[in-house]
Amino acid sequence: MIENLNDTKLPGNVTKIDLAAGKTIYLLGTAHVSRESVEEVKETIKSLKPDTVCVELDEERLQALRNPKMWEKLNLGAALRQGKGPFLMANLVLSAFQRKLGLQTGVKPGEELFEAVNTGENEGAKVVLVDRNIRTTLLRAWRSTGFFRKLMLMATMLASAFETEEIDEDTLADLKSRDTLSAVMDELGKELPSIKTILIDERDEYMASGILSAPGSSVVAVVGAGHVPGLTKIISGDQPSKDVTALDVIPPKSLISKAIPWLIPAVVVGLFIAGFFFADPAKIKDAALAWVLANGILSSAGALLALGHPLTVISAFIAAPITSLNPTIGAGMVTGVVQAWAGKPSVKDIEDMWEDLSHWKGWWRNRVSRVLLVFLFSSWGSAIGTFVAFKWLKDLI
């Protein structure tokens, strides 16, 4: 049996689900940067005194909430050398967007989830983290998305980071409406179906499995309001549950994704070899110069646009023509490492990072985010330079 509780002691957005085995599950839908949601979580757990509290978190995000200064321990240069630049950039954009909303409402992103963990532990309940690892979710979303959809996703993420629209508690209260969120999810499904499937539907399945297997006869599950409709269908049996083991698997890169980094250098080298045998030697020199200039200038322009250190701009010009022919290393990896060394972020940069990132100018002012901007813009510059130079190569050889 499913019912929406209107008990005066509990918030109206608690959904109660009675299962046949005598187990009762209470789904509490929240807004992740709402002060009201923080209080609702505390009141609900204290009132119901459940055996188990399930929370929409994974261990990595819980540690980040417990230790907000984790960025102080991060070696940016080492992380970029390990190829973690795209993940760090995505994580920073998403966190900055939520943090910006939090600054407007006075609530840290995820504070209500952290409150669920703390209140559950204080009340003697078993706390279970039921969400999938954030890295797995992001990688599944990225690798299941086509090239043009990826561009749309990146543009949407960057636009959200620089959004200046104000939001208040009344707006957040509207966001917790199931009907409103269902409409939003439907629109997301139309525009980016693969993304909606991975970010919402798959996680609904994953969290439902964790909630159903949670010990005890009374379980409170604290989740974002957007997940409540899907979780209700699965937990109540209206929608068949699935084996979630496969949802932890990171899909391999597509054949095209694997081939392109090797195909482009192979074609370029092939054109030079063909030119050596069949073209005017002077044209070969012009083609080589075109390759160096197109890659070097556009990559260094990207580093300059990110307000990179002069040494970073120089390193972009030198590295891009070489890294564009090497599938195992990108220009952004080189420039990011140089920027992290030459413009080393201070403790103050880390302490002020979230406040700086609440405004678009802060992305350039803060030396942590500037490293990642250098990584991103110089990579894009090198990629554009490769295609520009490729056209010149065809004309010259």
Does any domain span residue 177?
yes
243 by DSSP, 3-state: which? coil
Report which listed range, 75-84, 140-149, 326-335, is most confident.
Answer: 326-335
Residues 271 and 344 in one domain: yes
Tell me how many domains the chain contains.
2
pLDDT 10s digits, 323-371: 888 777 888 889 988 998 888 776 666 666 666 666 778 778 888 888 8
Residues 306 and 160 in one domain: no
Residue 219 has pLDDT above 50, yes or no: yes
Does any domain span residue 100?
no
Last residue of a domain, one of 233, 248, 263: 248
* Higher-scoring residue by pLDDT: 264, 297: 297
pLDDT 10s digits, 55-70: 999 998 888 788 766 6
pTM of the model: 0.66
Last residue of a domain, one of 219, 248, 277: 248
Q: pLDDT-based confidence at 159, cuts 50/70/90?
A: low
Q: Is 148 exposed, middle or buried (0-12, 13-18, 19+ CB in 10 A)?
A: exposed
Does any domain span residue 91?
no
Residues 182 and 229 in one domain: yes
Report the first-to-last Cα separation within the chain, whole angstroms. 73
* Higher-scoring residue by pLDDT: 121, 283: 121
Residues 267 and 168 in one domain: no
Residue type, 203: R
Q: pLDDT-based confidence at 104, cuts 50/70/90?
A: very low
Confirm if 197 and 185 have CB atoms less than 8 A apart.
no
Mean local confidence (pLDDT), 110-117? 89
Bridge partners, residue 56, by sequence: none
Q: What's residue 32's pLDDT?
A: 64
Residues 323 and 192 in one domain: no
Give residue 188's Cα distance to chain centre.
Answer: 16
Residues 273 and 232 in one domain: no
* Higher-scoring residue by pLDDT: 3, 202: 202
Does any domain span residue 74?
no
Does any domain span residue 80?
no
Report which listed range, 38-47, 163-172, 250-259, 281-290, is most confident.
Answer: 38-47
The tokens describing 395, both together, are 């004309």
pLDDT 10s digits, 18-41: 998 789 999 998 876 677 888 899
Q: In sequence order, which residues have a C-beta less than 8 Å from that of residue 238 and are 6 or more positions away?
A: 232
The tokens describing 2, both together, are 């499913």
Look up the domain containing 305 and give its range. Answer: 255-396
Last residue of a domain, one of 226, 248, 270: 248
Which strands make up the sheet holding 2-4, listed edge to edge?
2-4, 14-18, 24-30, 218-224, 52-55, 126-129
Q: How far apart are CA 237 and CA 226, in angstroms?
A: 19
Q: What's residue 179's pLDDT?
A: 42
Q: How far apart are CA 278 and CA 276, in angstroms?
A: 6
Q: pLDDT-based confidence at 180, cuts 50/70/90?
A: very low
Residue 103 has pLDDT above 50, yes or no: no
| Rg of the Cα atoms in the chain | 25
Q: pLDDT-based confidence at 221, cuts 50/70/90?
A: very high
Handedness of CA 94, 100, 105, 109 (dihedral sign): positive
Residues 222 and 263 in one domain: no
Q: What's residue 18's pLDDT?
A: 92
The tokens describing 112, both together, are 């209500």
pLDDT 10s digits, 260-279: 667 777 777 776 666 666 66
Does any domain span residue 95?
no
Q: What's residue 54's pLDDT?
A: 97
Which of 43-47, 97-101, 279-283, 350-354 bottoms out in mean pLDDT, i.e. has the lowest?
97-101
Q: How far apart are CA 344 and CA 209, in angstroms?
A: 44
Does any domain span residue 42?
yes
Give residue 83's Cα distance to chain centre.
Answer: 15
Residues 336 and 238 in one domain: no
Residues 223 and 303 in one domain: no
Does any domain span residue 96?
no
Residues 182 and 281 in one domain: no
Q: How far apart are CA 232 and CA 227, in angstroms?
A: 9
- Strand residue runs (E) in the chain: 2-4, 14-18, 24-30, 52-55, 126-129, 218-224
Q: CA angle 302-158-301, nearest 5°?
A: 5
Give residue 63's Cα distance to chain centre.
Answer: 17
Handedness of CA 150, 195, 105, 56 (dihedral sign): negative
Mean local confidence (pLDDT), 315-320? 94
Report the mean per-residue pLDDT for the chain. Answer: 77
Residues 154 and 291 in one domain: no
Q: What's residue 387's pLDDT?
A: 82
Residues 171 and 219 in one domain: yes
Mean local confidence (pLDDT), 74-82? 68
325 by DSSP, 3-state: which? coil
Q: How far apart are CA 366 and CA 392, in angstroms?
A: 38
Q: What's residue 158's pLDDT?
A: 59
Q: pLDDT-based confidence at 188, cuts 50/70/90?
A: low
30 by DSSP, 3-state: which? strand
